Structure 1
Amino acid sequence: MNMKIAVTGASGHIGNVVCRQLIEEGFKVNALYNKDQRSLENLNINLFQGSVLHKSDLERLIDGVDVVIHCAAIISIDGDPQGIVFKTNTEGPKNILDVSIQKGVKKIIHISSVHAVTEIPHSIPYDECRPYKQLGASAYDYSKAQGEQILLNGSKNNAIEVMIVRPSCVIGPYDFKPSKMGSALLDFYNEKVPFIPEGGYNLVDIRDVASSIVNAIEHGKDGEIYLLSGKYVNFKKLSETIQKVTGKKTPPLTLPYWLMKGILPVVALHAKITKRAPSFTKESIETIRNGHPNMNHTKARAILNHNPRPLEETLHNFFDWQIENEVISSSCSLKP
């Protein structure tokens, strides 16, 4: 494979697994990371330290590449008081587009999010045609909606192709940091979760998402959007599946939405006193409350061969990887 691919946000969960998939399929890879490169150690790639907010960094990264996979983003479930979420998630795509056009890149694959568009109403299946979220939505959601539109609109009168993929909540191995959902799974494993929140989420294996992203290099169509979802699971069922996989106890109590919303001021005060991130926020409980139970990835299955594996397999692999990398102890054997 002679094509060279640039990956931004390469040290993140999606980014590092995309890099691994690219290497496996024989692509040459330029990888942009910001600070922590642990997830990229010992990979046969060209490393570039920098930021998507600096065009000079992108010019070095993108020089001589055929395709850019833009994974870099800031995720927030607690607003955007410094403005860095919106800045990164909108100026980043604009800079990627400008430099890619300048360097003669053929294609940009932009990693967006299912949260860029509206989840309501639940009575209609969730697919690629949902309307974008508007100003007034959470900072992260609105920034991802704007980022998509910047790329799709900005590429219309240029030779470059742009396509969008929207993963749901990714979980699985190679979660070095770990991610927000990875942290939640580890809290379940370590029995630090006193209750189960009401609601649910669509979960998808990171490796299936990465495979579909790489397939978009050849099969993705200009101007198209692809939903990379997995399976919806409510948190009670998720907790029971974790217990089945690990033997860890399921929290006995389910906390309803109205009660979680009512104690938000107490949670925020505790976070301020302890100087730790709040265990949940208004945005996070709204997200799991509004999680759409019927996300339809038929289009991605047909075009990108998106074929999500069973949740139980993903959880096995996630906890196995965490044990192998000594993030958690193996005091409790995983169930076969």
Structure 2
Amino acid sequence: MNRDYTYIITGVTGYVGNVFAKKLLDEGCSVVGLARSKEKVQRVFTGKCPDIIYGDIRNKDDIRKLFAGDKPKIVIHTVAYVSIGEGDMEELYDVTVTGTENILDVAREHNTVKFLHISSSEAIPHGVKLNKELSNYIPDPANTRKGYNRAKSMADVAVLKAVEKYNLDASLILLAGVLGPGDYSNTHMTQVIIDYINGKLPASVNGGYNDFDIRDVADVLCQIIDRSKKGESYIFANKPDKINEVIKYVADMTGRKMLPTLPMWVAYVGLPFLYIRSKITGKRPLYTLSSLASLRADTDFPLDKVTHEFGYQPRSLKETVTDHVRFLVDNGMVQL
């Protein structure tokens, strides 16, 4: 890592943000992070801690505080309103789209030598063929499922506009399903694992996605920063998997019984009941129409590009799930 730069990470207490920040800190880099909660900063960073700016990505004055000092800046923009459902649309777009536009504007005001936008494979337009020839995806919000998927696609468009209009050295980093140690926010798959261990998951569904270990991306973060090309996109994933496969690895580790598997049509029938339950309890539903659509999508993402250019090598899903469960236990998020 180049220690002559200041590394700015938005969403520094989030899943991806904190793993990247810890990697950079371990390399002796100067890291400044944007966060909203002092309590979460203290929970996430028990050892080395970035310099923290408390603020909101929707406020440019808060963002400008990240860019203090004369060192050249490398920006890793991870913050987004993550949702597997429709969610609060106004906040979703304000944080994910307007927030991205804000930090792009501020980055141009300063000596920003690299801008990495952490996006999602969910932003890939519906119907795009995933094969080895898909070396660079073109965001197309109109043909992307509304909600989180479309918001990420719109944010990607904003990044590429900044590349074209202002010659900003920016790249898109698309992530598939993130797993592995570091999730202090109980993202969707983490909640599935916790519910299963706690006996609150009655059944599984006959679907899957593509889950990879965020540590494997962190391991090549230096190469990504140094070698990613202006205006290019890079997809990080593993092999397509099934929810039952993840649950089996958790079962092998914990001794829990495997769950019955429901066909997808049963899961769709249950959507209205989960929605009503979430309104009553105030908790997010276990799955939504959007998340079910993701489970049925083609997730055989091409890895040739990131393997060749960065040396990316995803570890086995079993190792990832095992370490993920250990992390949850070690941090008091679940008991075996």
**Structure 1 residue 90, shift from structure 2 partner:** 0.9
Name the structure 2 match of 1:323: 329
Answer yes or no: is 1:5 the counterpart of 2:30.
no
Name the structure 2 match of 1:300: 306
- Whichever residue aligns with residue 260 of structure 1, its letter is A
Name the structure 1 match of 2:85: 78
CA contact (8 A) 1:133 1:145 kept: yes
Answer yes or no: is 1:134 the counterpart of 2:150.
no
**Structure 1 residue 273, shift from structure 2 partner:** 2.5
> Which of 19, 35, 46 is the aligned partner of 1:33?
35
> Which of 210, 231, 242 is the aligned partner of 2:239?
231
Q: Identify the range of structure 1 (165-174 vs 293-302) with the bigger mean alpha-carbon deviation.
A: 293-302
What does the per-residue CA deviation read over 1:2-49, in whole Å, with 9 as the maximum and x for residues that have no partner?
Answer: 221000000001000000111122211001112231213432421111
RMSD (Å) for aligned C-alpha atoms: 1.9
Name the structure 1 match of 2:25: 23
Correspondence list, 1:37-116, <5 A: 37=41, 38-64=43-69, 65-116=72-123
**Structure 1 residue 139, shift from structure 2 partner:** 1.0
> Which of 215, 219, 226 is the aligned partner of 1:218?
226
**Structure 1 residue 82, shift from structure 2 partner:** 4.3
Separation of aligned partners in 2, 1:125 and 1:305: 17
TM-score by length of 1: 0.91
CA contact (8 A) 1:106 1:159 kept: no
- Whichever residue aligns with residue 205 of structure 1, its letter is D
2:31 partner SS: strand
- Whichever residue aligns with residue 90 of structure 2, its letter is G
Matched residue count: 328
CA contact (8 A) 1:165 1:213 kept: no
What does the per-residue CA deviation read over 1:148-196, in whole Å, with 9 as the maximum and x for residues that have no partner?
Answer: 1111112223343001100101111121122221111112222321111
Answer yes or no: is 1:14 the counterpart of 2:22.
no
Separation of aligned partners in 1, 2:196 and 2:133: 29
- Whichever residue aligns with residue 314 of structure 1, its letter is T
Separation of aligned partners in 2, 1:130 and 1:159: 19
Q: Percent identity?
A: 26
**Structure 1 residue 122, shift from structure 2 partner:** 6.4
Correspondence list, 1:133-172, <5 A: 133-135=140-142, 137-172=145-180
CA contact (8 A) 1:169 1:204 kept: yes
2:240 partner SS: strand
- Whichever residue aligns with residue 254 of structure 2, its letter is T
Separation of aligned partners in 2, 1:2 and 1:313: 35
1:77 partner SS: coil
**Structure 1 residue 116, shift from structure 2 partner:** 0.7
Q: Identify the range of structure 1 (122-131 vs 105-114) with the bigger mean alpha-carbon deviation.
A: 122-131
